[in-house]
Amino acid sequence: MPLLETIAGPGDLRALSPAELDTVAGEIRELLIDKVTRTGGHLGPNLGVVELTIALHRVFDSPRDTLLWDTGHQSYVHKVLTGRQHDFDGLRSEGGLSGYPSRAESRHDVIENSHASTALSYADGLARARALTGDGSRAVVAVIGDGALTGGLAWEALNNLGGHRDIPVIVVLNDNGRSYAPTVGGFAAHLRRLRDPDPGHGNVFRELGLGYLGPVDGHDIAAVEDALCRARGTGGPVVVHVVTQKGRGWEPARRNDLDRCHVVRAAPPPGNGSSAPASPSWTSVFGAEIVRIGEERPDVVAVTAAMLEPVGLLEFQRRFPERTIDVGIAEQHAAASAAGLVYGGLHPVLAVYATFANRAFDQFLVDVALHRCPVTLVLDRAGVTGDDGPSHNGMWDLTVFQAVPGVRIAAPRDATRLRGLLREAVAWRQGPTVVRFPKGRTGPDVPAIATHAGMDVLRNDPGREVLLVAAGPMAGLALEVSDLLAAEGIGSTVVDPRWVSPVNPELVRAAAHFRFVACLEDNGRTGGIGAAIGQALGDAGATTPLRCFGLPQEFQAHGSRGQVLARCGLTAEQVAAEVSDGFHRQTTRLRPSTSGPFPTRTTRGK
């Protein structure tokens, strides 16, 4: 029986000999490689923290002591050691193991979100609380990667931690030299020097008021344990600099110089050798078009926040290395520096995942939009992403960026529209633009039968019964809904605004002529496109009822994109049923009625 089978919880690690610990480490790697290559997930990062996590759980007594994982994508080993080793067949599947820490799964888990650079702030707050409540004997340990440490929020926390030398926090810097690609910037260079110790090493942290221990070989369990015990003994804020190898122990990762298998995709289900040629990914369509634009526009520069390949900028960097900027995991800096790039005469195209743009809202608002900077923000993974869990869904960008004065937001419905709208966005010099598209493949093009005032008409019903407004790739869903409505005798017109914000006044004018309007979007309903259209209809004095179909303003547990959309009522059948019901109720309301909704006279005695 594998020795790992005897590990029901962290306490079982403490009785093992060094040789047995090495055996357990090997068995964990085998488990992760076997399971994650099938389910998909963050295999590289987790193979790099096997020994580190074993050492952490031997030195600290979780959950009495608290282990915080920054970004959380590297917490699989932690899950294996805290009673969940048999749950990995369901990793990232609906109802199965989350790809990130989850309080619902275990009392050993704390930070559930997947947004980088927040754990040190959590640790600072928790340690202060423990000091104030007399709970200071419970250790607070935060594991943060060298990539996450390029995020500004982490330095805000370090500044605070260094300012309170009597509050113990153990910062475990998991330094594998990479985000996806090798980490960038001056601090990354400093870490590289630290990895080759010299007399002056660790002084940055000491200057900041934190202790420094390291560099420690992160694959030597005894050495890591010794450093963690010494760190605990300092009684104050201290950094334990652990040097690890991302993807350690797996040959495909060792050979992968792009990202050490940061994320591996789920193996295709058996017998799924689909013959139909897959359509291109949204990301690849963007990546190819921005290169063509780069050839025509020497003022266009591409900016990434440590995700060059994931956002499709690898070829742009190969072609225009001097016009490609990787700022590290620093979306706020990216947005503010984009304003500087504009002031210097350039047109930045900042490509990030939609959910990560949330943290750059203020810079986009007052550094970019206030100055009417022509920055183009390209939001990949806009809408439901699904298996990466609630903090990864791109369900806030339309809400957040519609609030920015002067911004224009485009939502392409297919590859052809993405190419065209990206060009329109980069050609727009009067202010910021946003182009958003989802994760996955574009699917076939959805042709327009007509265009009107910049909008594409995809289906036209002269009866003016129902108007379906589809934002971006919801066009496909809208056409399916239209078919279902037609089957029950309800005519519908389908329109793709292309530029979804600000609301096209021609859309408002046309909508007022229909008996029922429905808007379909892959964003939260609060402050979404539907809400904006409703506001515009009201402002225009139109009385046409509007139904907004979007994501409920809730955190959506992980699952496939299709499962989450169905959970949110965004299937053709669900939408068509609601539209039909609303339409018929409206029709009933429109019939001349003998009595309004309120009694015409007070009935005596009742």
Ligand X SMILES: CC(=O)[C@@H](O)[C@H](O)COP(=O)(O)O
Ligand Y SMILES: Cc1ncc(C[n+]2csc(CCOP(=O)(O)OP(=O)(O)O)c2C)c(N)n1
Site residues, ligand X (CB under 6 A): 71, 73, 114, 262-263, 310, 381, 385, 388, 439
Bridge-partner residues for 587, per DSSP?
A: none
Annotated active-site residue 515? The verdict is: no
Question: Which one among 7, 24, 31, 148 touches ligand Y, defined by CB under 6 A?
Answer: 148
Which residue number places its CB atom closest to Mg ion?
A: 145
Find the catalytic residue in 27, 51, 225, 331.
Answer: 331
* Stretch in the footprint of ligand Y (CB under 6 A) among 121-129, 177-185, 230-238, 515-523: 177-185
Residue 333 binding result from Mg ion, ligand Y, ligand X, none, given CB thresholds of 5 to 8 Å by partner type: none
Instruction: List Cα–Cα distances, 297 to 291, 293, 348, in angstroms.
Output: 10, 6, 11
Q: Round to whole Å and give the CA distance between 494 and 503.
A: 16
Find the catalytic residue in 58, 79, 130, 246.
Answer: 246
Say whether 148 counts as a known binding-site residue: yes
Verify cis geometry, omega within 30 degrees of 0, for the bond prior to 199: no
Say whether 146 counts as a known binding-site residue: yes
DSSP 8-class letter at 277: P
> Which residue number, 147 or 218, has a Cβ lying nearer to Mg ion?
147
Output the 3-class SS for 389-403.
Answer: CCCCCECCHHHHHHC
CA angle (457, 462, 465) in 5-degree steps? 95
By CB under 6 A, residue 71 contacts ligand Y: yes
Residue 306 binding result from Mg ion, ligand Y, ligand X, none, given CB thresholds of 5 to 8 Å by partner type: ligand Y
Say whether 558 counts as a known binding-site residue: no
The alpha-carbon radius of gyration of the chain (Å, integer) is: 27
Q: Round to whole Å and give the CA distance between 545 and 510.
A: 13
SS3 content of the chain, % helix, strand, coil (to 5): 40, 15, 40
By CB under 5 A, residue 146 contacts Mg ion: yes
Q: Round to whole Å and give the CA distance between 476 and 491.
A: 17
Annotated active-site residue 35? The verdict is: no
H or E element: which one contains 495? Answer: strand 492-496
Pick the closest to residue 520 from 483, 493, 547, 491 (CA basis).
547
* Stretch in the footprint of ligand Y (CB under 6 A) among 126-134, 301-309, 587-595, 597-605: 301-309
> Which residue number, 385 or 492, has a Cβ lying nearer to ligand X?
385
By CB under 6 A, residue 114 contacts ligand Y: yes
By CB under 6 A, residue 304 contacts ligand Y: no
> Helical H runs in 196-324?
203-207, 221-234, 251-255, 282-296, 314-319
> Which residue number, 58 or 262, has a Cβ lying nearer to ligand X?
262
Say whether 116 counts as a known binding-site residue: yes
Pick the closest to residue 474 from 541, 539, 433, 525 (CA basis).
525
Q: Binders of ligand Y among 532-591, rule CB under 6 A?
A: none
Least gap, CB of 42 to ligand X (angstroms):
6
Pick the closest to residue 388 from 83, 601, 93 (CA basis).
93
> Which residue number, 144 or 494, has a Cβ lying nearer to ligand Y?
144
Residue where the block lists tokens 């490689």: 33
H or E element: which one contains 280? Answer: none
* Stretch in the footprint of ligand Y (CB under 6 A) among 84-92, 145-153, 468-476, 506-514: 145-153
Q: Are 457 and 448 in contact (CB under 8 A)?
A: yes
Least gap, CB of 42 to ligand Y (angstroms):
7
By CB under 5 A, residue 176 contacts Mg ion: yes
Question: Which one among 307, 339, 382, 575 touches ligand Y, defined by CB under 6 A?
Answer: 307
By CB under 5 A, residue 333 contacts Mg ion: no
Annotated active-site residue 464? The verdict is: no
> Which residue number, 73 or 439, has a Cβ lying nearer to ligand Y?
73
Residue 302 binding result from ligand Y, ligand X, Mg ion, none, given CB thresholds of 5 to 8 Å by partner type: none
By CB under 5 A, residue 260 contacts Mg ion: no
Say whether 176 counts as a known binding-site residue: yes
Pick the closest to residue 578 from 496, 477, 507 (CA basis).
477
Q: Round to whole Å and give the CA distance between 552 and 287.
A: 31
By CB under 6 A, residue 101 contacts ligand Y: no
Residue 381 binding result from ligand Y, ligand X, Mg ion, none, given CB thresholds of 5 to 8 Å by partner type: ligand X
By CB under 6 A, residue 74 contacts ligand Y: yes
By CB under 6 A, residue 329 contacts ligand Y: yes
Sign for the pseudo-dihedral over CA of 241, 247, 250, 256? negative
Binding mask 35-54 for ligand Y (x = CB under 6 A): ----------x---------
By CB under 5 A, residue 178 contacts Mg ion: yes
Say whether 127 counts as a known binding-site residue: no
Q: Round to whole Å and give the CA distance between 198 and 200.
A: 6
By CB under 5 A, residue 399 contacts Mg ion: no
By CB under 5 A, residue 44 contacts Mg ion: no
Number of residues forming the site for ligand Y (CB under 6 A)? 24
Q: Give the start-end residues of each E strand in 17-78.
A: 66-69
Which residue number places its CB atom closest to ligand X?
A: 73
Question: Which one among 102, 176, 376, 580 touches ligand Y, defined by CB under 6 A?
Answer: 176
Say whether 20 counts as a known binding-site residue: no
Verify cis geometry, omega within 30 degrees of 0, for the bond prior to 505: no
Q: Are 119 and 69 in contact (CB under 8 A)?
A: yes
* Stretch in the footprint of ligand Y (CB under 6 A) among 112-120, 271-279, 496-504, 512-520: 112-120
Q: Round to whole Å and give the CA distance between 100 and 110.
A: 10
Find the catalytic residue in 92, 359, 419, 459.
Answer: 359
Sign for the pseudo-dihedral over CA of 128, 132, 136, 138? negative
Residue 388 binding result from ligand Y, Mg ion, ligand X, none, given CB thresholds of 5 to 8 Å by partner type: ligand X
Question: Which one among 356, 401, 516, 583 touches ligand Y, defined by CB under 6 A?
Answer: 356
Residues 6 or more apart whose Cβ sits within 8 Å of residue 379: 352, 353, 354, 357, 394, 397, 434, 435, 436, 437
Which of the residues are catalytic?
246, 331, 359
Residues binding ligand Y (CB under 6 A):
45, 71, 73-74, 114-116, 145-148, 174, 176, 178-180, 246, 262, 305-307, 329, 331, 356
Q: Residues within the annotated binding site for Mg(2+)?
A: 146, 176
Residues binding Mg ion (CB under 5 A):
145-147, 176, 178
Q: Residues within the annotated binding site for thiamine diphosphate?
A: 73, 114-116, 147-148, 176, 331
Q: Residues within the annotated binding site?
A: 73, 114-116, 146-148, 176, 331
